[in-house]
Amino acid sequence: MIGTGYVGLTTGACLASLGHSVVCADADPRKVERLREARVDILEPDLPETVRDALEAGRLDFTGDTAAAVAEAEVVFLCLPTPMGAGGAADLAAVEAVAGEIRDVLRPGCVVVNKSTVPVGTCERVAALLGRGDVTVVSNPEFLREGRAVHDFLHPDRIVIGAGDRAAARRVADLYAALDAPLVLTDPASAELTKYAANFFLAMKLSFANNLATLCERFGADIADVTEGIGRDPRIGSAFLRPGPGWGGSCLPKDTHALLTMCDRSGVDFPLLSATIETNVTHQRRLVDRVAAACGRGEDGSLHGVRLALYGLTFKAGTSDLRDSPALAVARLLRERGAELTAYDPALSEERPDLSDLVELVADPVRAAEGAASCLVLTEWPELRDLDWAAIAARMTGHEVHDFRNLLDADLLARAGLSRRGIGRPAAPARVA
């Protein structure tokens, strides 16, 4: 297993839990040392326990020596970052560098598995870089959700394997034999495109839900009832129909842009894809416009001198991941308007210098509201429901909560003297004593 990020560490630990012998390689020696001690820095439910149990069983090890890790391996997984590069294309520098590093030490008959999300044609590209006729390259995309990665690995909806060599595909499939999941055996291009198509479709549903919420506000409808009404149709489904402050995270933004780049380079017009991306940006700007209007600002939407309290900065609950977080995207738009931002997130400490130019991060949710004209709920942390909202109201100069996750109980806020305004839902005014 080369790479110990969310995908690599989860895949390695879970395969070890299934009885396989796994060695995970990473270039960061400090990270390797911590993992050898079962110290997992990623906030991910069940992952620390899975790593610890596999280490104690002697089926999992960590090393900083990539060549040594692959020298005796029958299957080598590439779990490397493919961030958004110039023009939106996926940056394959890490994948290509590792391919060059391991090509001369792979044992004959080894199968190299692309687990990273990579553009169509990457299997062929890696095979060419390896230049080994006795080594097969297979695509096996991951479908793990942060906050549920271990569960998703052990209870997958499907396992997709793309290979030109059926024997190699079966060898990879056998690694998952203990799991009860449909197996999709296909060619490498189809497997690679499946991952991008899945993430694009999810992003499209979220953009649809956010636009639908705007429509609900215009007509006085309730988005919760509308999405329940359409989500019960099995052709539509209820997943990814909850509106919010936009979509983000480590996958959807980079993968939608990478797919759009693939379309452009191949001469395929896909307006639905570009509209999905643009709708997300427009939605976040609209939310900031709404906050500015609620603060009594003029047509220019300036927020200079306005203090706002932000609740939640991570891209979703259950993780400490800030990569392409929609909460941070909204925060940046607010800062561009001149707002002063104080933030609380249960997964983050005050020691985050990378956020210091954007927000003042505090460990006390009540302190976050000091002098705030409004509160904004940006991440769906369940514990935000149970905050002392009366104490928060006492610290604020205003009385409005913009619940951009439709998370909070309107009656509870009303009793605290706060009005709640969600997305696509009727406003809930504060109760006057």
Q: Which of 14, 216, 251, 375 is catalytic?
A: 251
Residues in the chain: 433
User: What is the spatial order of strands in the sheet that 75-78 belongs to?
Assistant: 75-78, 111-114, 136-139, 159-162, 183-186
Under a CB-based contact definition with an 8 Å cutoff, are residues 362 and 386 in contact?
no
Under a CB-based contact definition with an 8 Å cutoff, are residues 336 and 356 in contact?
no
Under a CB-based contact definition with an 8 Å cutoff, are residues 33 and 101 in contact?
no
Partners of residue 361 on adjacent β-strands? 343
14 given a catalytic annotation: no
Q: Tokens 């997300």 — which residue? A: 280
DSSP type of residue 211: H
Under a CB-based contact definition with an 8 Å cutoff, are residues 108 and 134 in contact?
yes
Nearest to 251 by CA among 1, 40, 7: 7
Half-sphere exposure of 316 (CA within 13 A, CB side): 17
Under a CB-based contact definition with an 8 Å cutoff, are residues 11 and 115 in contact?
yes
Return phi, psi of residue 426, to 5°.
Answer: -60, 140
Hey, which residues are catalytic here? 251
